Structures are given as structure tokens and as C-alpha cells.
């Protein structure tokens, strides 16, 4: 583990120094350098070679990051914390069967305690995997417990209850009237949007085109604008869903959503967008909507491969998401990066989606998708101190293989080829095992790979009890 020390100084407030690291800034110039990251309060205060604590004043904590790589914390723009307990319980199914036969009955079996257990388990896995910001669509009820778990464990989160006022195969427990759905959304938004010093946000989240009435979709989009929230939904995930849209609306899901509800000017994030129809990429661009690319989920549910290259070429913001645990069955951003990079080659040809671009999706791309790139997504003075420290040697019983991290010295000296090797290490080789430290808002939430804000043994035990309860209630 990295060495930590207190630096005795005097006078004004202190902070944290991550010293002698290879720092991958993800700023506009995509600079890489060896040096220090200085954090004061919840912000990055200084960056550069040789910026050390003794020159500053106050009580400073120094973490020696020699041999480590420091990056902005990862952003995942589509997850479902509520589904974390249902991992391994919904395999070998296409999207609509997966929802109707497994996921909706299991979500209907949640109570407040089991949903809290799901959220705590999910946030623990996300943080220890280096994810510092999420956009999570929850189930219809008990979303209060999800916010409380995110508040407790320290992740940055946009969270919204799923809105569903119709739909084939929806259990009675998940059906709500249009007005109930809007009222609960409004209540949660007024309670949580901007809470925890701005770390928590509400996201208005109609589930998808076929679980919402046109009135609900329209009102949801306006409510997002009224409250200054993101609008988040699923769109064009599977061919079956697109066929339903063509039959009902005469166009694809993205065009139908736009026709029915329009996008929110405060920001719209559409999960998946695997099968855009003619003209729909132009619609996304005109509306300044973002796409959440979920490669593992799209493969597990046999949905297809999203045309990420086409979205990026059109200037559409793209982020990455693990989606729910039962359609992945992991929640780590590094796994999604690797798969996105591999699928990018398959979909659009060798070199069509580089390792650097994939790291961008998980950092600046995600931040831009959430309209939060002025605060997160890159390491720059004045931005939020959301950081991940990767140790190439962690998780191996012996020393890592030679050139494991590429030539970081050359990368730090401005060699673009060497920097590309570093991005390739992050995107293709790295796993959550290499995540050593994670900071959100300057708070040390993962230290030496361990969650700091709660006892993980307790989270696991609570989750095991909750899984048994949900399975019994759902008969699964
Ligand atoms: Zn989803």
C-alpha cells in the first residue's frame, strides 16, 4: 500500500497531497505528467511537478504515489442500484423476457430495507472499482432508501425513481397512476436534488417508451426542465423494442420519444441506443442528448452493438454504464472500458475506437453527458477532487510483467505514443484489483482497496438476507 504521512505544518487549513504520481489529467490537451495532486477541501487546488505540502500551511496528509497512476474518478451514466441483489438471477433471456419474467417481479418484491441493501451493495462495488459518479434509474418505490445509501457511502450520484404507468407484463406492485408517478418524482426531487453539498442530484426517469403513457412522458420531460434535472430513460435497446415502436408510432424509439415528449433542455441521457433508425442520430445531435453505452448489457441480452463511432463523429456526448447487475453481472467501469474498446473494433474496424477515446468515455464523456463537465471528469485546478489511484502491482501475487504500464517516463515527457500505451494499459489491462484509493469530494472513500464509509462484511450479510427475502416473495 502507498505510504502515508502527516506533514506537520502551521497556520491555515491543510489538505491532501498525492505525490510523485503519473497523473492522467484528461484535460483538453490530454496532458500526462509526473508530479503531485494537491487537494484542499472538496477541490483540486494544485497540480504539477514538485508541488509538495511543506510549502503550504496547515495539517497536510501526504500519500506517496510513486509508481501509481492518478486519474479522474470514473463516471457511469447508466446503472440500476436497485437491481444489485438480482445478479445471476436473470440469465439467457432477451430484453423483454428478462424484464417481464425476472426483473419486474423481483423489483416488485423489494421493500425499503431490501432496496437499501441493494443500493449499499452496488455503491460499495462501484466505489471500490473506481467509479465516483453514477446516473442510476431505480425501481418504482423505495427510492428514498437509495438516496440514503448514496449519501452514507459517499458516491456522487444522479438518482431517479422509475416512472411506469402502463405496460404489458408489469406487476401490480409496480403500476402507478400518472399523477402518483409525477407526485412522487416531485417529492423526491425537492428532498434530494442538490443534497449532500451538491453531491446528490435527482434525475427524472421514465423507464422506457412502452411502460409510460404519452402524458407521463410529456409531463416527465417538462418536470425535469422545471426542476433543473436530467431526464433519463432507455431507448432503442433491442430490435424487438424498435419493432414495437415502428408498429405503434411508425418510427424508431428515439424519434418516437422526441415526437411524444421532446428532450429536456436541462439534459437528456438515453441508455443504449443500439439500433438508431435513419435520421435518429441527427435528432440526438439537434437535441443535445447524450448516449449511455452499456456494452456488457447489450451483449448479455443479445441486443447488439451500439454505433459508438457514429455518435462520437456526430458530436453526441457518450458515456459508459454497467447497467443493472443482472444484465452484466459486474459493475466495474474498467470492465466496460475494455469491452467498449474491443467491440468498437468489431463494429467499425480496427483503430476506430482507440484506448484513449474509451478512457474519455469513462471520464470526460460521462461528465459531459451529465452536464457536469465543469465540475468533474478531468483533473484541473478548481474542479471537484474526485480521483482514483491505480497501482499496477496490486492484485498480483508476484511483480507485474515488464512494461506492464507502458513507458510512463516517456508519456510524462510528452511522447504521444507512450501516452497511448498508458491509455491502452488502463482500457485493456486494468481491473478493479488495481484500484488502490478513491476520493469523492476530497473524501477518502476507498483506501488500500477497502471501502472506508461502511463495513463491507455488514453490507454483504445484509444483502444475503435481502436476496433471500426478495426471491421468496417473487417465487424465483
Ligand atoms: Zn437499464
Strand duo 290-293 + 69-72: pairing: unpaired
Q: What is the mean pLDDT of the chain?
A: 92
Tell whether 359 and 259 lie within a shared domain: yes
Strands 15-24 and 32-40: antiparallel
Q: In terms of domains, do 237 and 127 share one?
A: yes
Same domain? For 284 and 414 the reply is: no
CB of 67 within 8 A of CB of 23?
A: no
**Stretch 426-430: mean pLDDT:** 94
CA of 288 to the centre of ligand 1 (A): 20
Q: Using CB atoms within 10 A of its CB, is residue 130 exposed (0-12), middle (13-18) or buried (19+)? A: buried
pLDDT at 49: 85
Tell me the CA–centroid distance for residue 298 and ligand 1, in Å.
10
253-289 pLDDT, tens digit per residue, is 999 999 988 878 899 999 999 999 999 999 999 989 9
Q: Residue 346 is part of which domain span?
A: 74-369
What average pLDDT does this structure show over 148-177? 95
Whole-number Å distance between alpha carbons of 126 and 133 = 9
Residue 471 lies in a domain: no
The torsion angles phi and psi of 301, rounded to 5 degrees, stand at -90, 10
CA angle 288, 292, 294 (to 5 degrees): 160
- Distance (angstroms) between ligand 1 centre and the Cα of 323 equals 5
Element (H, E) at 17: strand 15-24
pLDDT digits (tens, 9 = 90+) for 348-390: 888 889 999 999 999 999 999 999 999 999 999 999 999 999 9
| Grid-cell match 476520493, residue found | 439
Give CA separation, 271 vs 23, 323, 349, 476, in Å. Answer: 31, 9, 23, 27
Name 159's bridge partners.
136, 202
> Measured in angstroms, how far is the CA atom of residue 292 from the centroid of ligand 1?
9
Q: Total structural domains in the chain?
A: 2
C-alpha to C-alpha distances, 450 to 317, 417, 442, 464, nearest whole angstrom: 32, 34, 16, 20
Residue 426 is assigned to a structural domain of this protein: yes
429 and 300 belong to one structural domain: no
Whether the pLDDT of residue 11 is over 80: the answer is: no
Q: Residue 79: enclosing H or E segment and its boundaries?
A: strand 74-80
Report the CATH number at residue 190: 3.20.20.140
End position of a domain, from candidates 369, 402, 429 = 369
Q: Which of 125, 68, 18 is CA-nearest to residue 400?
A: 68
d(CA 386, CA 377) in angstroms, rounded, equals 8
Q: What integer pLDDT is reported at residue 81 of this predicted model? A: 98
Across 135-163, average pLDDT: 98
Burial class of residue 50, CB neighbours in 10 A (0-12, 13-18, 19+): exposed
Interval 166-192 mean pLDDT = 95
State CA 185 to chain mean position distance. Answer: 21
**342 Cα: distance to centroid of ligand 1 (angstroms):** 21
Distance 270 CA to ligand 1 centre (A): 10
The three-point CA angle 447-157-128 to 5° equals: 25
Same domain? For 146 and 29 the reply is: no
Residue 231 lies in a domain: yes
List the grid coordinates of 280.
Answer: 435518429
8 A C-beta contact, residue 233 and residue 207: yes
Same domain for 333 and 430: no
Q: How far is the CA of 207 from the centre of ligand 1 (A)?
A: 8
Q: Which of 305, 338, 369 is the last residue of a domain?
A: 369
Distance 299 CA to ligand 1 centre (A): 13
Does residue 473 sit within a domain? no
The gap between the terminal CA atoms of the chain, to the nearest Å, is 42
Same domain flag for 78 and 195: yes
C-alpha 173 – ligand 1 centre gap (Å): 19
Q: Is the peptide bond before 372 cis (omega within 30 degrees of 0)?
A: no
Is it the case that residue 6 has pLDDT exceeding 60? no
Amino acid at each position: 500500500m502507498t505510504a502515508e504521512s502527516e506533514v506537520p505544518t502551521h497556520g491555515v487549513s491543510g489538505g491532501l497531497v498525492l505525490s510523485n504520481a503519473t497523473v492522467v489529467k484528461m484535460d483538453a490537451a490530454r496532458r500526462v505528467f509526473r508530479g503531485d495532486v494537491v487537494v484542499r477541501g472538496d477541490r483540486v487546488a494544485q497540480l504539477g511537478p514538485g508541488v509538495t505540502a511543506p510549502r503550504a500551511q496547515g495539517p497536510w496528509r501526504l500519500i506517496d504515489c510513486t509508481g501509481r497512476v492518478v486519474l479522474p474518478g470514473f463516471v457511469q451514466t447508466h446503472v440500476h442500484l436497485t437491481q444489485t441483489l438480482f445478479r445471476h438471477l436473470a440469465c439467457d433471456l432477451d430484453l423483454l423476457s428478462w424484464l417481464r419474467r425476472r426483473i419486474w417481479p423481483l423489483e416488485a418484491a423489494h421493500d425499503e430495507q431490501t432496496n437499501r441493501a441493494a443500493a449499499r451493495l452496488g455503491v460499495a462495488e462501484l466505489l471500490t472499482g473506481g467509479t465516483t459518479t453514477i446516473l442510476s434509474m431505480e425501481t418504482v418505490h423505495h427510492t428514498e432508501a437509495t438516496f440514503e445509501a448514496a449519501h452514507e457511502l459517499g458516491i456522487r450520484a444522479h438518482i431517479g425513481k422509475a416512472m411506469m404507468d402502463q405496460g404489458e407484463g408489469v406487476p401490480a406492485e409496480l403500476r402507478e397512476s400518472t399523477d402518483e408517478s409525477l407526485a412522487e418524482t416531485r417529492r423526491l426531487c425537492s428532498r434530494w436534488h442538490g443534497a449532500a453539498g451538491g453531491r446528490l442530484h435527482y434525475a427524472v426517469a421514465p423507464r422506457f417508451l412502452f411502460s409510460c403513457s404519452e402524458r407521463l412522458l410529456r409531463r416527465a420531460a417538462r418536470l425535469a426542465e422545471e426542476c433543473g434535472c436530467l431526464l433519463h430513460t432507455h431507448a432503442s435497446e433491442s430490435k424487438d423494442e424498435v419493432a414495437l415502436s415502428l408498429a405503434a408510432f411508425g418510427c424508431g424509439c428515439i424519434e418516437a420519444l422526441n415526437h411524444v415528449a421532446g428532450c429536456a433542455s436541462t439534459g437528456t441521457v438515453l441508455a443504449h441506443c443500439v439500433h438508431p433508425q435513419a435520421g435518429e442520430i441527427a435528432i440526438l445531435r439537434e437535441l443535445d442528448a447524450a448516449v449511455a453505452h452499456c456494452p456488457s448489457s447489450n451483449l448479455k441480452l443479445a441486443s447488439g452493438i451500439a454505433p459508438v463511432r457514429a455518435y462520437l463523429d456526430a458530436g453526441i456526448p457518450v458515456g459508459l454504464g454497467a447497467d443493472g447487475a443482472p444484465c452484466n453481472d459486474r459493475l466495474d467501469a474498467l470492465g466496460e472500458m475494455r469491452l467498449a474498446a474491443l467491440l468498437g473494433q468489431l463494429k467499425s474496424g480496427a483503430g476506430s475506437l482507440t484506448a484513449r477515446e474509451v478512457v474519455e468515455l469513462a471520464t470526460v464523456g460521462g461528465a459531459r453527458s451529465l452536464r457536469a463537465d465543469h465540475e468533474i471528469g478531468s483533473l484541473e485546478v478548481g474542479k471537484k477532487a474526485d480521483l482514483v489511484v491505480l497501482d499496477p502491482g496490486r492484485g498480483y501475487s508476484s511483480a507485474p510483467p515488464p512494461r506492464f504500464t507502458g513507458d510512463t517516463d516517456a508519456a510524462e515527457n510528452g511522447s504521444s505514443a507512450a501516452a497511448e500505451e498508458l491509455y491502452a494499459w488502463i482500457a485493456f489491462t486494468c481491473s478493479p484489483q488495481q484500484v488502490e484509493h478513491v476520493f469523492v469530494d476530497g473524501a477518502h472513500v476507498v483506501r488500500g482497496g477497502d471501502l472506508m464509509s461502511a463495513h463491507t462484511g455488514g453490507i454483504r450479510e445484509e444483502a444475503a438476507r435481502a436476496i433471500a427475502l426478495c426471491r421468496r416473495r417473487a417465487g424465483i
